[in-house]
Amino acid sequence: MDSPSSTRKPRRGDRLEGMILRYDRRGLAHGSSGDYTFSLRTGVPGDRLGFQVHKRRRHHLDGRSAELIEEGAARVQAPCRHSESCGGCAFQSCDYGVQLEQKHLLVSEALSAAGLTDLPEVEAVLGCENPWRYRNKMEFTFGNRRWVAPHEPEGVDADFAVGLHAPGLYLKVIDLAECHIVFEQGEAILGTARELAREQQLPLWDIREHVGFLRHLVLRHGVHTGEVMVNVVTSEENCALFEPFARGLLEAHPEITTLIQSINEGVADVAVGEREIVLHGPGYIEEELLGLRFRISARSFFQTNTLQAERLFEIVREEAALNGDEVVYDLYSGAGTIALMVAPAVREVLAFEQVADAVADARLNAERNEVRNVRFFEGDVLTEIDATLAPDSVLARPDVVLVDPPRAGLHPKMVGKLLELAPERLVYVSCNLHNGAQDIAHLIEGGYRIQRIRPVDLFPHTPHVECVVTLTR
């Protein structure tokens, strides 16, 4: 490895040193080294690192094979042995307070990248009281192509893994012996699933050849109810293979309140099935949020950090500033959480969601919580909203709209529909402000103004940050 002379440009293989300054929205650590900026998959703001140049693009270098020269003040001991290889929590070597400051910067960057200036101050990111064991849902992958660490001896067993995909390596799965963000019983169930799959010699899915039996292990937990769902995604039903595996899980974990086998015969690497077979329990779990009880089935979206979702929904309720007489639209309503939470404070809520199971859960949730002023509409929100906009529609127009779209943000046509709906107040909940900020920029062009920007951390140790942006007309 060469060090570049002061006159020539750095080349692949050169070794340089530099200081990490910040994280980016993909979780990469960025720093500066002389006239160049660089990015690495590792490092904590404040660290001084040596690295090898992998690629040069103008004044930016992609680095590899980093080596810590001097620890920064923000560096902490990562509790997980997989922290350097697993992409699940890229920031776990960084002090949690510094993570929150970094997320604050990411929010500001996303807003300015969308051309949004002259805004109210971005408020401090509301952090978690406990940033560990916060995930009430985890999707693990079974795979026959294990990611092998550079220090492992040659010939190591590389055809068996249950865990998460290695970052940037879609084909490889890290065999996770521990995971500190999943709920506690979840980690133990992961271990049992691994042992049983080995003992029973169950074929693990080959993501390239599309053969094998076990595909995904999806775990869900009701934090306030203690209920646990295990959903095993397999490539076919095959009772002879599945029953002993299911029995083993239930015997080892009496805390499992429902066990589902989902059959995914397709090639797409998704942890849902075309068909579900309930082998134990009711096929769903229940969770409580801010005093309401929710039924959650395998396909329903539900916020993955229960305690922090409660903080998020309190903020949404505050920002909606309801006085008891409004018509509220909840767009992208999932299992009805936000709709049911605001219902007691308004005249009526109209909620829109496309996943049929989520809408079924939502209707049941309304009934069981004795909420009678919410109507749920099933279908693509874009088409469903058209019905409310039709001149002969009997549906009331909204005073307040709450939108909580998926990571991609709003469909481009949806912004136009929101402008036609023209609510006085619009609360945009974004789980990916990089996309959300573009939507917000269009809403501002259409006559809205931002009132408040309140980020909430639902995903410690990852680059993700949720943000509630309140707009008024």
Ligand X SMILES: C[S@@+](CC[C@H](N)C(=O)[O-])C[C@H]1O[C@@H](n2cnc3c(N)ncnc32)[C@H](O)[C@@H]1O
Considering only 46, 334, 409, 460, the residue that binds ligand X (CB under 6 A) is 334
> Widest CA span of the chain, in angstroms?
74
Which amino acid is present at 9? K
State in angstroms the smallest separation of the CB of 303 from ligand X: 5
Q: Which helix H or strand E contains 239, and what residues bound it?
A: helix 239-252
Q: Whole-angstrom Cα distance, residue 194 to residue 101? A: 37
Residue with tokens 């989520």: 358
Q: Residue 136 in contact with residue 183, Cβ under 8 Å?
A: yes
Site string for ligand X, 385-424 (x = CB under 6 A): -------------------xxx------------------
Site string for ligand X, 428-447 (x = CB under 6 A): ---x----------------
* Strand blocks (E) in 214-360: 214-221, 228-234, 258-263, 275-280, 284-289, 292-297, 327-331, 348-353
Q: Whole-angstrom Cα distance, residue 215 to residue 270? A: 9
Q: Which stretch binds ligand X (CB under 6 A): 20-28, 204-212, 242-250, 351-359?
A: 351-359
Considering only 39, 235, 333, 435, the residue that binds ligand X (CB under 6 A) is 333
Q: Whole-angstrom Cα distance, residue 23 to residue 41? A: 10
Q: Which stretch binds ligand X (CB under 6 A): 5-13, 180-188, 329-337, 465-473?
A: 329-337
Q: Which stretch binds ligand X (CB under 6 A): 41-49, 252-260, 348-356, 448-456?
A: 348-356
* Strand blocks (E) in 255-407: 258-263, 275-280, 284-289, 292-297, 327-331, 348-353, 374-378, 400-403
- Give Cβ neighbours of residue 161 (< 8 Å, ≥ 6 apart): 141, 142, 143, 144, 145, 146, 147, 172, 173, 174, 175, 204
Site for ligand X in 65-104 (CB under 6 A): none
Q: Reduced to 3 states, what is the DSSP secondary structure of residue 287?
A: strand
State in angstroms the smallest separation of the CB of 382 from ligand X: 6
Considering only 19, 113, 355, 364, the residue that binds ligand X (CB under 6 A) is 355
State in angstroms the smallest separation of the CB of 402 from ligand X: 8
Site string for ligand X, 281-320 (x = CB under 6 A): --------------------xxx-----------------
Considering only 310, 319, 326, 353, the residue that binds ligand X (CB under 6 A) is 353
Q: Whole-angstrom Cα distance, residue 169 to residue 147? A: 9
Q: Is 354 in the site for ligand X (CB under 6 A)?
A: yes
State in angstroms the smallest separation of the CB of 286 from ligand X: 15
Taking the alpha carbons of 131, 134, 139, 140 in that order, is the dihedral positive or negative? positive
Residue among 239 and 356 whose Cβ is closer to ligand X: 356
Residue among 261 and 430 whose Cβ is closer to ligand X: 430
- Residue 431 annotated as catalytic: yes
Q: Quick one: how far is CA 166 from the chain centroid?
A: 17
State in angstroms the smallest separation of the CB of 403 from ligand X: 9
Locate 231 and state its tokens.
């959903």
Site for ligand X in 155-184 (CB under 6 A): none
State in angstroms the smallest separation of the CB of 313 from ligand X: 8
Residue among 144 and 303 whose Cβ is closer to ligand X: 303
Residue among 39 and 337 whose Cβ is closer to ligand X: 337
Q: Which of 86, 89, 179, 431 is catalytic?
A: 431
Catalytic center residues: 431
Residues that bind ligand X (CB under 6 A): 301-303, 332-335, 337-338, 352-355, 358, 380-381, 404-406, 431
